[in-house]
Structure formats: C-alpha cells, structure tokens
Amino acid sequence: MADSVLNLAELKRLAPPAELRRAPVVEGNPATGALTDKLSAFAEGKTPRWWWILFLPAAFAATVIFPVCLFYQVFTGVGVWGNNHPVMWGLDIVNFIWWVGVAHAGTLISALLFLTKQHWRTTIGRMAEAMTVFSVAMAGLYPAIHVGRAWFDWFMMPFPNSNGLWPQFRSPLMWDVFAVNTYLMVSSLFWFMGMIPDFAVFRDRSTTRVRKTIFSFLAMGWTGSARQWHHYEKAYVVLCGLCTLLVFTVSSIVGLDFCTAQIAGWHATIFPLYFVIGAVFCGFGMMLVLLIPLRKWCGLEIVITKRHLDKVAKLALVSGLIITYIYLMEFFIAWYSGDPYERWVFSHRLFGHTYMVMGWILILVNVGVTQLLWFKKIRSNLAALFVIGLLINCGMWSERFVIVVGSLYQDFLPASWGEYLPTIWDIGLYVGTLGAFFMLYLLFVKFLPMVAISEVKGVMPHADPHHPLGGAKKGGHP
C-alpha cells in the first residue's frame, strides 16, 4: 500500500512544482454534471447561423454538383475526365489517396493514442473518428468509378458467377478493395460503438418524444452497469488495437499499388511507409482545419484547449519531418540508382516544364511551412495553425499529384509522352466529395455527440475513486 509508506504531506512534497505538473484535460476541472451539460449543449441547442451558412453550400455541392458529375461520368465514360494515355491515373486516384490519407490521422488519434494512454485524446477522439469514417467513404467511391464501368464493380468481389471467373489476388489492386472496405467497416463500427454510452446520455437528457425515441434506439438499451462497462472497455481496447493495425496497413497497400508497377518514380520499396506517413501528416492538417473553428463555434474551448491543438501541431511536425526525410531519400536513391529514367523523373519533378509548380508547392509547404511548427509562438496562434493546416492539405494534395501524374506523363519512350489536364468533371467530382464530406461532418456535429462525453468524464479527477474530488475518504493522491 503506497499510503502506508508515504503520507499525504510526503506525497505533496515529492510532487513536481506547479509549472511542471501536467495540465488537466479539461480546463478548470468542472463537475461531472456541468461537464455533461457543456458537452451536449451544442447538439441540443438552437442551430446557429454559421451552421446554416456552411451547411447550405456544402449540401449544394453534395446533392447537386456531386451527383451531376458522378452520373455524367458513369453514363458517358471515363473519357469525360482528363485521363488519357499515358496518364491513365489522374485526379480520381490523386483524390482517392488524399481522402484515404485524411482518414488515417483520425484513426491514429482515436486508436493509437488510446493504446498509449494519452488522456488528452478523449476530447478530440470522436471528431477525429468522424473525420475518418466520412473521408474513407469519399475515398472508396473513387476506385469504384475509376474502373470505368461501375456496373461491373461486383467483379472485384469473389463470389461464384456464371462466367466462372474469380478475382486475381496476385495484384495489390485487389488487396486494396479489401483494405478500403475493411477500413470503412471497422472505423464505422469503432465510431458507432464509442457513441453508444453517449447516445444513452442524449436519450436521458432528451426533452422531446422524437429525440427520446431516436436516441433510445441508437443507445440500444445501454444502462451503464458495471458489467456493461466491463465488456465495453474490453471491446474498445480490442477495436483500438485493430484500428491501429489498419492505420499502418491500408495506406501501405495503397502504396503497394504503386511500387509493384515498373514506372520510374513509383518502383521504390519506401512507398508503403511513405504513404502511411504522408497520410497521417495530411490528416493532422485536416484535424487542425476542423478543430480550430469548431471548438470556438461550438463552445468547446475549455475541452479542446490550446494545449490539445499544440499537441496535434507537434504530431503534424513529427510526421512532416519524416516526410522530409522520405523526400530526401527518394531523390537520393533516384540519383544513386544510376537509372536514367529514375533520374529523369525526379529531376523533372522540380525542374521539368509542366508540373514543376506542383513539385515546388510540395517542397515549400510540406518541408518548408511545416518547420514553422517548431515555434511555440506559432503553435499557440490559432489563426496561424489553421492556415498551416490548410496549407498542409494543399501540399499533400500536390504531393499525390506529383507522384501519380508526375511519374506517368513522361515514361520510358519519348514517343508516348503526354500531358494531363483535369477537366471540369474531374474538378467537379472533387468539389462534390468535399461538399459531401463537410455536409456529413456538419450533420454529425449538430446531431450526434461530437465529443466522447463519457470518455472525457472518465479521465477527470472526479472519476478517480482515489482522488479527493472523486470521493476518496482519506489520503489519495493530489
């Protein structure tokens, strides 16, 4: 027993000085009931004007631009896009990788940081998971229509058919089908299961019959008994472990799609790692873009504090540094390999004629702008963080573009070189998916528990039975 050896005075003497002590997860340590009110206030309150101002354009993009571009492409053919020989993978694949990338940081925050017991993640974990679920859904759409004949998508699924054919599993493209579907499925399950206790909170707080009915169904009869928490926590740990596996697998498999090809610029063993880190980096950028306005507008400043954003920014910096290392390695290996095609592709990424702008955006943003995050002044300046988050998203998008298009447009034979320019349908589809993502995200913020209420309550000192605030009779740790 610790308290038999050390009494409270002794513990207080040994405790680190105030400035070194870890700040509380929630500013001011509000009481459990007040915290519940605070965290459910936005979903229960009147819809503010900013929500409509953002929702209407997003909904327009999602319900008008998106289906128009989608159906026009499906009914007409892939020819409506700019994809043509030799650039057969255009914006559709660029956006696919970009969306998968955005998803990864969400899983990393919600799953990997749970396993490493980072309590601060509880306040942003739910918003990160929602980002994951919606962006994987957007990503999954692209390959399905990129195949050109979307009505043959079922060819990708191994089930007995009258043609007697099976999918060819020696291609990583087939693995991708399973990877992306699994990612969507598992992250949705994880997201949903995490929300069950919070649905119960909403159910018990509901004032109207409609709300009560809806959240009663969603909460599935959750009562919060010790037995239920016992199994729930176990399932949560298992799902976190599985999601963590997916963080490292899904983008690796997307990377394998590239590195098994013979194209110079793609055929590199670093690609799986490259894609994972790039994905996480891009996702942290998106996380900053989503968190900074929402914490203010939804009144969550005491829950998502500057300290939280500081940590997200530090994670972005770390992943940005790894990305920088990978860029250096890529260029070095291209030179060191002595392969003239590799050297050609890589020198043309920065000094070519057509796409060198994208190459320089990549270097300036992902390598240059990221270094600003070293400074505490910048990490605590929310406007700067928001802009850096946006820039990281643009930088990573141009990285995807450079990898996909920049490697394809000038391949081995000069006779088969070509140019690629996205058409209005390429861009429209991207705008449509962006709209759909933000529409879903705004709906999530308005109607579902956007912060994991029970998880946040669970890491408060009030929740610790051995803490004075948690009702410990004597002793306890300070």
Residues 227-246 that bind another protein (CB under 8 A): 227-235, 238-239, 242-243, 245-246
> What angle do the packed helices 226-259 and 172-205 form, to 10 degrees?
150
Binding residue (CB under 8 A) for another protein from 61, 124, 130, 201: 201
Q: How far is the CB of 207 from another protein (least distance, A)?
A: 11
Q: How far is the CB of 450 from another protein (least distance, A)?
A: 17
Distance CA 301, CA 307 (A): 11
Q: How far is CA 108 from CA 124, 254, 362, 388, in A?
A: 12, 17, 23, 20
Length of the chain: 478
Q: Is 200 in the site for another protein (CB under 8 A)?
A: yes
Residues between 177 and 196 that touch another protein (CB under 8 A) = 178-179, 181-182, 185-186, 189-190, 193
Residue with Cβ nearer another protein (224 or 478):
224
Q: How far is the CB of 4 from another protein (least distance, A)?
A: 18
What count of other Cβ atoms lies within 10 Å of the Cβ of residue 476?
18
Q: How far is the CB of 206 from another protein (least distance, A)?
A: 9
The partner residues of 87 in beta bridges, in order of sequence, read 84
Q: Is 418 in the site for another protein (CB under 8 A)?
A: no
Q: How far is the CB of 32 from another protein (least distance, A)?
A: 4
Q: Is 224 in the site for another protein (CB under 8 A)?
A: yes
Binding residue (CB under 8 A) for another protein from 104, 311, 349, 457: 457
What count of other Cβ atoms lies within 10 Å of the Cβ of residue 160?
8
Q: How far is the CB of 388 from another protein (least distance, A)?
A: 33
What count of other Cβ atoms lies within 10 Å of the Cβ of residue 172?
19
Residue with Cβ nearer another protein (18 or 226):
226
3 CB-near residues (< 8 Å, 6+ apart): 475
Residues between 26 and 85 that touch another protein (CB under 8 A) = 31-33, 36
DSSP state of 354: S
Binding residue (CB under 8 A) for another protein from 166, 335, 336, 374: 166
Distance CA 456, CA 40 (A): 12
Q: How far is the CB of 36 from another protein (least distance, A)?
A: 5
Binding residue (CB under 8 A) for another protein from 175, 191, 401, 437: 175
Q: Is 118 in the site for another protein (CB under 8 A)?
A: no
Give the DSSP H/E element, type plus range, for residue 44.
Answer: helix 32-44
What count of other Cβ atoms lies within 10 Å of the Cβ of residue 477?
16
Residue with Cβ nearer another protein (216 or 423):
216
Residues between 124 and 163 that touch another protein (CB under 8 A) = 158
Binding residue (CB under 8 A) for another protein from 64, 220, 357, 421: 220
First to last CA, the chain: 16
Binding residue (CB under 8 A) for another protein from 63, 249, 337, 380: 249
* Burial bucket for residue 396 (CB in 10 Å: 0-12, 13-18, 19+): buried
Distance CA 32, CA 140 (A): 40
Peptide bond into 17 cis (omega under 30): no
> What angle do the packed helices 121-146 and 66-76 form, to 10 degrees?
30
Residues between 360 and 399 that touch another protein (CB under 8 A) = none
Residues between 256 and 295 that touch another protein (CB under 8 A) = 256
Q: How far is CA 47 from CA 207, 214, 236, 281, in A?
A: 16, 19, 32, 33
Q: How far is CA 167 from CA 60, 260, 448, in A?
A: 38, 18, 39
Binding residue (CB under 8 A) for another protein from 82, 172, 359, 422: 172
Residue with Cβ nearer another protein (253 or 408):
253
Residue with Cβ nearer another protein (398 or 454):
454
Binding residues for another protein, rule CB under 8 A, total: 72
Q: How far is the CB of 335 from another protein (least distance, A)?
A: 29
Q: How far is the CB of 469 from another protein (least distance, A)?
A: 8
69 CB-near residues (< 8 Å, 6+ apart): 425, 428, 429, 432
Binding residue (CB under 8 A) for another protein from 6, 458, 475, 477: 458
Q: How far is the CB of 117 from another protein (least distance, A)?
A: 13
Q: In degrees rounded to 5, what are phi and psi of residue 110?
A: -80, -30
Distance CA 464, CA 461 (A): 5
Binding residue (CB under 8 A) for another protein from 226, 383, 413, 415: 226
Residue with Cβ nearer another protein (296 or 466):
466
Q: How far is the CB of 468 from another protein (least distance, A)?
A: 9
Residue with Cβ nearer another protein (226 or 415):
226
Q: How far is the CB of 245 from another protein (least distance, A)?
A: 6
Residue with Cβ nearer another protein (246 or 315):
246
Tokens of 200: 């119960």
Q: Which stretch binds another protein (CB under 8 A): 100-108, 294-302, 388-396, 453-461?
A: 453-461
Among candidates 469, 470, 446, 445, which has minimal Cα distance to 124? 445
